[in-house]
């Protein structure tokens, strides 16, 4: 098991270092394994857009976090990554309640990876679907990483 995966498993257990964005938005990493992650969030009116529904940026944040952590959990000790493309489709409006972003790595090559994510409400209805292209970094490119 890699160091990154160990650190993320500590977050799931409740004794790991939580990222600043997770603290700010209040989302939680509830499952992690190499190539898969689940992020959960209780959304309320503080996240509403001017139309009184959940702002799309919140959905992007939890999907991006789930996809990034799924990808990171499978990295080797000498690797890190960056997102080079992120796409999201909003499938239905959402106002408030519990959301679950479930991410799975579709492909991981030596340099490029593809991760998909679906965001569900507490009734199991899909709210959004997202995909992310990740670039694996090595050597000098890993300087300054936080894992």
Would you state the pLDDT for residue 68?
97
* Residue extents of the structural domains in the chain: 3-142
Which tens digit of pLDDT belongs to each residue from 89-115? 999 999 999 999 999 999 999 999 999
Class of domain 3-142: alpha beta
Which tens digit of pLDDT belongs to each residue from 26-40? 999 999 999 999 999
CA–centroid distance for 41 within its chain: 11
């Amino acid at each position: 098991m890699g160091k990154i995966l160990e650190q993320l498993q500590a977050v799931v257990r409740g004794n790991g270092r939580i990222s600043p964005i997770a603290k700010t938005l209040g989302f939680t990493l509830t499952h992690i394994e190499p190539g898969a992650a689940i992020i959960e969030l209780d959304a309320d009116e503080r996240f509403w857009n001017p139309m009184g529904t959940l702002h799309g940026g919140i959905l992007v944040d939890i999907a991006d976090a789930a996809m990034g952590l799924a990808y990171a959990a499978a990295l080797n000790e000498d690797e890190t990554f960056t997102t080079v493309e992120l796409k999201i489709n909003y499938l239905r409006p959402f106002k408030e309640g519990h959301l679950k972003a479930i991410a799975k790595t579709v492909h991981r090559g030596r340099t490029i990876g593809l991760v998909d994510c679906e965001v569900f409400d507490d009734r199991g209805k899909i709210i959004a679907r997202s995909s992310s292209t990740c670039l694996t970094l090595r050597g000098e490119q890993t300087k300054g990483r936080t894992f």
